[in-house]
Structure 1
Amino acid sequence: MQRNKLFRRLLLIMFILVLVSFYRLPYFVQKPGVARELQPMIEVEGGNTGEAGTFMLTTVQIGKANLYTYALAHFNKYEEILTTKDLRLEGESEEEYNVRQLYYMENSKHHAVQVAYEKANKEVRFDYKGVYVLKIVDGMPASKVLKAGDRIIKVDGHQFSASQEFIDYVGKKQADDIVRITFLRNDKEMTKEIAVAAFDDTSDKVGIGVQLVDDREMHTDPAIHVDTEGIGGPSAGLMFSLEIYNQLTEEDITHGYFIAGTGTISPNGEVGRIGGIDQKVVAAHRAGADLFFAPDDEIPDEWKDHPDVLTNYEEAKKTAEDIGTNMKIVPVKTFDDALLFLGSLDKNKS
């Protein structure tokens, strides 16, 4: 009898635990992710892969909160509770958010390849393919036809060499004019008619209601393959560029060190600010990194009235001190800054 009662209690506790783990709250929990070695993700044809150390990208992990993870996040200094507004742009759907993150990653790869190849005096060029749809404006005509992730290749039979030409062409139309949009969706070509409309009652500006960016195809010599499946966002740009450059050149610039870091990369090699750097420092420390490259950014004017806002480098250094890591935090403003620092390392490490 006593055993049956104990068994029922155990079943009830298990049921409650399962219920707690599956019940999702309208919040997200962001916490330290992982530091991933880049060499297995990047393959330059005929490239140098005999590095003694390694370059690593760092990530944050974002998941829908349940009662258990929501409670734990309140007690963990390096876990953060976020709302949908913290993650998405105004009016952005979950699908559009995912498309935007994947585009940012793709664009980040292109910038990293461009910076590394040009620095190594290797050939890189881009061909314009069309217009990539990032977001659809609610209530505008395109919302009935197009989806985020579509690639527009023609309008009224015309091809363009930049997305701005598309914007200028449609912007010269009148409200209620019809345009024929030829686009690719999952590699299938389709042509649909879409009406042009005013963006609001007080504006003369017209369009079909899409947020656009250029869709480009990259060509390099030597060829390169970068596998980023499952990773979104632009923050790995700097570390991509360093791994690619290391494979393009004879010298091993890691010198045997485990090197983690973060930061966007622009086509001219500037390193940009990213979010969640404290959590990425924790991830790098857990992976045993010797060095961590942090963007040495400047606080935007609109944030300077908030004394608690730190630069990425300041926040990374503060986190490193807080967790007691021996990992060195290195500030970088450009790709060349990172190369200059790596060139100063003790070659005996390798």
Structure 2
Amino acid sequence: MPRRTATLLASTVTLLAILVAGVFIPVPYAEMSPGPTVNTLGEHDGEPVLHIKDRKTYPAGGHLNMTTVRVTGADYKMNLVEAVYGWLSPDDAVVPHESLYPDDTTAEEVDQQNAEQFTASQESAKVAALDELGIPFTTRVIVASVLAGGAAQGTLHAGDVIKAVDGQRVDGPGDVVELVTSHKPGEKVDFRIVPADRAEKAEKNGDDPRKLPGEDVTVTAKESDREPGKAMVGITAGTAHTFPFEIGIRLADVGGPSAGLMFALGIVDKLTKGDLTGGEFVAGTGTINPDGQVGPIGGIHMKTVGARDQGAEFFLTPAQNCATAVRDVPDGLALVRVRKMDDAMDALEDIREGRVDQLVECGE
């Protein structure tokens, strides 16, 4: 066999071997890519995304799209060829697998965490929207979660309404933390609560759970594993709300907290006359807290790409994501900087009135 032919054959065999190896060799990476966008004012899988009952609503035109990032599953084994392809793609991101799925966390735990964050974001969106509209509602302090193996396990339960700690009324989760940590490990902490089942029944009957008579329970504080000398009872205090009408958000297969801002704006639009967008295609992202503060999210570039691919012209961008977002802005998409709910409302007014030159954009 001529030397040249032999060399070519050897090179071909080597290349094929490398390609085959690349297909079968797993690498510790995961991939993020632009996910679907959903108009919060419209329908998804044949059902309205926002369902409001017992309150007058108004038709809403235009788009207020929430955006998503598609990620490979926790159990997916990426190979070397896929990783290289992802690295070369301008719209995708290949990241260490452990950054999305920590080694000490199961896939089920990640899914559960995302689901809980999504539920919490919906609650915060409702609060921010009704605050924006000046619609009153009630707030109560609850046991949001109980630490497995903690001092309160079996005594306090998620959903219990906390009326008082050590005889002192609590008006927010911070009051609970302050009163509990004023103790020393080994001391008893007295709680007055309305059990979760009674609170839920009262709310279904239209009654205020806070006004029900409480039950006294005692928990012996333990020492914090992370902060020696600090007392803890093994609960997370949170808030729950009773709204004057039903607000439902229906969106399957979505997790995490990043749609909060767009849900809040969608609710406001549905409850007010006219179109917040003026019929324009606006997309966006951002967490929102009950005070209307907008927080940063992950995967901002994938979300802007997904939004522009669907036709968005304006993208409401959390201020803390602006520095990353402006590095590679999709053509024809204006990145509007928002720090709070009021910023988003002002931006939508400018868009609606055609004052786009007054928008505060990322990079300004």
TM-score, length basis structure 1? 0.69
1:50-94, Cα deviation, whole Å (9 max, x unpaired): 222111100111113421543421221232223354236795554
Q: What is the SS of the residue equivalent to 2:134? A: coil
* Structure 1 residue 110 displacement after superposition: 2.0
Q: What is the SS of the residue equivalent to 2:326? A: helix
Describe the shift of the 1:55–1:262 C-alpha distance in structure 2 as closer, same or farther (beyond 3 A). same
Residue 64 of structure 2 is aligned to residue 55 of structure 1: yes
Code of the residue aligned with 2:223 in structure 1: it is A
Cα RMSD (Å): 4.2
Q: Is the 8 A contact 2:57 2:270 kept in 1?
A: yes
Structure 1 spans left out of the alignment, 5+ residues: 1-15, 186-192, 298-311
Residue 86 of structure 2 is aligned to residue 73 of structure 1: yes
* Structure 1 residue 174 displacement after superposition: 4.3
Residue 231 of structure 2 is aligned to residue 198 of structure 1: no
Code of the residue aligned with 2:65 in structure 1: it is M
* Structure 1 residue 292 displacement after superposition: 0.8
Q: Is the 8 A contact 1:142 1:194 kept in 2?
A: no
2:5 is matched with none
CA distance in 1: counterparts of 2:142 and 2:224, whole angstroms = 27
1:301 is matched with none
Residue 314 of structure 2 is aligned to residue 291 of structure 1: yes
* Structure with larger Rg: 2
Q: Is the 8 A contact 2:180 2:231 kept in 1?
A: no
CA distance in 2: counterparts of 1:177 and 1:218, whole angstroms = 29
1:113-262 residue pairs with structure 2 within 5 A?
Answer: 113-133=126-146, 141-142=149-150, 151=158, 153=160, 163=173, 168-169=179-180, 172=183, 174=185, 197-200=222-225, 203-207=228-232, 210=234, 212-214=236-238, 216-262=239-285
CA distance in 1: counterparts of 2:279 and 2:141, whole angstroms = 39
CA distance in 2: counterparts of 1:201 and 1:57, whole angstroms = 37
* Structure 1 residue 108 displacement after superposition: 1.9
1:140-188, Cα deviation, whole Å (9 max, x unpaired): x449x79xxx726389xx89955556654488464599999x9989xxx
CA distance in 1: counterparts of 2:183 and 2:232, whole angstroms = 9
CA distance in 2: counterparts of 1:289 and 1:100, whole angstroms = 30
* Structure 1 residue 242 displacement after superposition: 0.9
1:42 is matched with 50
* Structure 1 residue 112 displacement after superposition: 1.6
* Structure 1 residue 245 displacement after superposition: 0.5
Describe the shift of the 1:127–1:227 C-alpha distance in structure 2 as closer, same or farther (beyond 3 A). farther
Describe the shift of the 1:326–1:164 C-alpha distance in structure 2 as closer, same or farther (beyond 3 A). closer
Describe the shift of the 1:151–1:202 C-alpha distance in structure 2 as closer, same or farther (beyond 3 A). closer
Aligned residues: 297
2:328 is matched with 319
CA distance in 1: counterparts of 2:86 and 2:334, whole angstroms = 27
Code of the residue aligned with 1:131 in structure 2: it is A
CA distance in 2: counterparts of 1:88 and 1:197, whole angstroms = 30
Describe the shift of the 1:257–1:335 C-alpha distance in structure 2 as closer, same or farther (beyond 3 A). same
1:279 is matched with 302
Q: Is the 8 A contact 2:176 2:237 kept in 1?
A: no
Q: Is the 8 A contact 2:58 2:271 kept in 1?
A: no
Code of the residue aligned with 1:108 in structure 2: it is S
